[in-house]
Amino acid sequence: MDPAVRLASAVADPIVSQLLLPVEAAPASLKDATTSELLAHLVSFRGENPALSYEGLLSLSQELVELASAAHRLPAVERAPIAVVLSRTLWIIGELDTTDVQAVRLGPQDYARRLRSAVPGADRELTPDAAWFHDRLLVTVCLHLLHHLIRRSPRLAARLPERAHRIRQLIDLNDVEAVRGLEGPGGRPSVEDADFEARYADSVVEQYNRVTIYGIDLPNPNTPDNWSLDATYLSLSAEFDNEGAEERESDEPVLTADRALSGHERVLLRGVAGAGKTTLVQWLAVSTARDALPPELEALRGRIPLVLPVRRFAREGFPAPDDFLTAVRHPLADEAPDGWVARVLTEERALLLVDGIDEAPESERGPLRAALKRLMRIYSGNFCLVTARPSAVEPNWLADEGFDELALAPMNRDQVAAFITAWHTAARNDEGKDHSRLDEYRDKLLASIPLFRELRGLATNPLMCGLICALNRDRSGSLPKGRKELYEAAMEMLLQRRDPERRVLYADAVRLQRAPRERLLRKLAFRMLTEQRAELDMDEALEEIQRSLPAIPSTAGQGGPQAIFRHLLLRTGLLREQADRSMEFVHRTVQDYLAAKEAVEQGAFDLLLAHAHESEWEEVIRMAVAHARPGECARLLTGLLAPGRTGMQRNRRRLLAAACLEHVTELDPETHDRIRRETRNMLRPATVAAARGLGWVGPIVLEMLPDPSTVSDQEAHRLAVTVTRIGDDAAVHYLAQLRNRASLELRAELAHGWRNFDTDHYAEEIIGHLDPEGLYFPVSDRVELAALRKLGGRERVQIVGHFTPDELLDGLVPDQLTHLWLAYDLGVRMDWLSAFPHLTTLRVNPRLPRVTGVPEGVRILS
């Protein structure tokens, strides 16, 4: 029987829930997952002193009939008789010996049949149409009743997972159809919805049009510590990451993220910590809410951005549509019209932005994926962007739901320069006393990054680039080298030196030096690590501080937990308070660094090893190795190699051991040799996807790879895929041994890796030696364009960065160019190509808009 008379859960649940006793009044036996309970004991209208009388049940039945008849032109005269029959049918629940488990196992249709059969002839006075309406409405009421039972009794879902899943799916389908049945002419929003959507759009802009540029902490606590997204947003780059493909040619260009997203309804975006995933989500939300999207994203115009940070609901599970705003604690959650989110999804007007799958514990990602897949199948016409760290989820994690995979590309030199310039421009708005020297700091940093490999390797994402800018300013141009050293210097800057050096001595009554500040922050970070949390509510944070204060003598007499917390919040720049009074660190990487230091301090090595195969613990373990003393370091690394895990978990732990070697300060030779010995054979990747995955291990891989002269062209290509992702001078030396091979696939990979290394050095060692036959040479920035011209130009050139026609006219060699590949939309007519007399072919990436003004005689390929 099809429940063709439908009620959206937003209106049905408040009524149906009154049919059951409150959870606290239900039998204690329900807490036992092995028992069942008679539904007669759970309903609110039976027993000695029922909470709901028969008259109350009749009133609820009348309300259900009235709501359901809205979309069914049911004559008013028939509604009261239907309500009487419905109340008699529901009343019988209290007399049957059906248990809750049996009812869920039956499902809504069969359970409705059982109720009807228990009151034979109850509908004899109804007309045929009214009887039909009653039967279908009864199925819908039973559906909502069973769903309510499952939601309040997790044991039911545990005992009958398939039935529970099916009932949840039916609820979603029912909601979609119920909303469609109530849509107005043309499916346009109601006046109430339209009014709320205008206020919601304003709130999205207000909430997300701010961005913190890391490391600019202001001495005045009343001064804002963030800047307009409009003024500081850097257009990020992305590339398609089709892990299933065995071949990797340069036909998948690096594009700006907005162009890369163009034409895709569903995207899984990967990016390392600090790469700008959340900033991109903010930009999409604000631009959509403002109706200020670029032409490439025209398909998003008019959509409603729904931002869903996973950390907000990681433990509770993916929320139902009508709980979206409540789950993320949106300030307008209580003002949304009933069923608004479900209507937006049903009308296919939503832009879903699910940010940070890696913020959920690994055990919760499977259920999150299942819920997201179910949502996208039911509300199939909505756009969806999901973000995650690269190793947080497996390749093709959502491929069966039509999600394409993108990866945020490292910032190129032009983007790094743009970020550094924007950072120093924003710094002019703070209350520092060195504004007259900001241009000097900027220019010195711009000159230093190309010269120093360590800085070049670190300044490839907004987080680390911002941290480098802050430290450069703080140290008047003297920068530390290496990841751990950068964070140590940041802690010194933020926790010890900044306030005294800026004479901010009396911002509050608390006087704490770096050590106690850091120790308290480490306690908070470690608790969040062990509980696998991305945030703590205020009571939990204060509880942790209260527990820690007696062990830190310097905090004595400084105030209670509230005063200490406010001091840490306002004076360190490392914490952020949300509107709902929860707290989080300004970035997950900062939390990981501090938690790792505390883990080493507490000797929690068994805890680290127990979670070493989980992606969200990788950075913690790397930093723990960096903090650990030699014996502790050996214990951690040998623990990573210990037997007990199998398959992917074992491989991940072993590769993590290899990756940790670059962070080791001192390690006994025996352990070092053992790691190299046990991971050597893992570093002969059999697929391109595996080859890409080795890049995160770092420079230590180079010591274990096979002699390039002994491998086939196919394996040489896979090795090149790995090595071009290791930003180290030694990588160039290894790649130079592959440069003379004829394989076009290999040569294309070597050319594609240019952007990951020092331009001139790579051009001299690799680019200048590649056989140009059939090979397009990619150019991503002005430095590469100049280097290619210095080599005399090439016949085939691929443009994968933003240039103006004048820059290309100056940079390309006119007499050389015969084939030009545009993988980046220049946004102008192509008349200027007439300056290249030998140009025969213009290749345009199909993801880009159609080109115009191409000179006659030039063939266009796409």
Q: What is the pLDDT of residues 569-619, one digit of tens each?
A: 877 767 877 767 788 887 777 888 899 999 999 999 999 999 888 877 888
State the residue range of the domain holding 136.
9-184
Q: Are 325 and 341 in contact (CB under 8 A)?
A: yes
Is 91 a member of any domain? yes
Provide the 3-class DSSP secondary structure of residue 701. helix
Is 390 a member of any domain? yes
Residue 217: what pLDDT? 47
- Please count the other Cβ atoms lying within 10 Å of the Cβ belonging to residue 488: 16
Is 3 a member of any domain? no
- Asked if residue 433 and residue 363 are part of one domain, the reply reads no
- Asked if residue 154 and residue 17 are part of one domain, the reply reads yes
Give the residue from 184, 199, 221 where a domain finishes. Answer: 184
- Asked if residue 466 and residue 376 are part of one domain, the reply reads no
CA 164 to chain centre: 28
Is 597 a member of any domain? no
Count how many domains the chain has.
Answer: 4
- Asked if residue 386 and residue 438 are part of one domain, the reply reads no
Q: Could you tell me the CATH number of the domain that includes residue 291? A: 3.40.50.300
Using pLDDT thresholds of 50, 70 and 90, give the confidence band for residue 222: very low
- Asked if residue 328 and residue 294 are part of one domain, the reply reads yes
pLDDT at 218 > cutoff 70: no
Task: Report which residue type is found at 593.
Answer: Y
What is the rounded CA–CA span in Å between residue 830 and residue 819? 14
Cα-based distances in Å from 844 to 297, 795, 802, 808, 832: 19, 16, 15, 16, 16
What is the rounded CA–CA span in Å between residue 757 and residue 632? 34
Least confident of 37-51, 87-101, 447-461, 489-503: 489-503
pLDDT at 127 > cutoff 80: yes
pLDDT at 245 > cutoff 60: no
What residues are paired with 819 via a beta bridge?
796, 841
What is the rounded CA–CA span in Å between residue 301 and residue 201? 13
- Asked if residue 178 and residue 83 are part of one domain, the reply reads yes
What is the rounded CA–CA span in Å between residue 269 and residue 284? 13
Look at 776 and 697; give whichever has higher pLDDT.
776
- Asked if residue 244 and residue 162 are part of one domain, the reply reads no
What average pLDDT does range 641-663 have in this prediction? Answer: 78
Tokens 């609110």 belong to residue: 44
Is 357 a member of any domain? yes
What is the rounded CA–CA span in Å between residue 27 and residue 35? 11
H/E stretch holding 364 reads helix 362-378
> Which residues touch 723 (CB under 8 Å, ≥6 apart)?
701, 702, 705, 731, 734, 735, 753
Is 644 a member of any domain? no
Look at 116 and 358; give whichever has higher pLDDT.
116
pLDDT at 414 > cutoff 90: no
- Asked if residue 106 and residue 47 are part of one domain, the reply reads yes
Cα-based distances in Å from 503 to 80, 220, 494, 522, 591: 77, 11, 14, 26, 28
- Asked if residue 248 and residue 369 are part of one domain, the reply reads yes
Is 375 a member of any domain? yes
Using pLDDT thresholds of 50, 70 and 90, give the confidence band for residue 262: confident
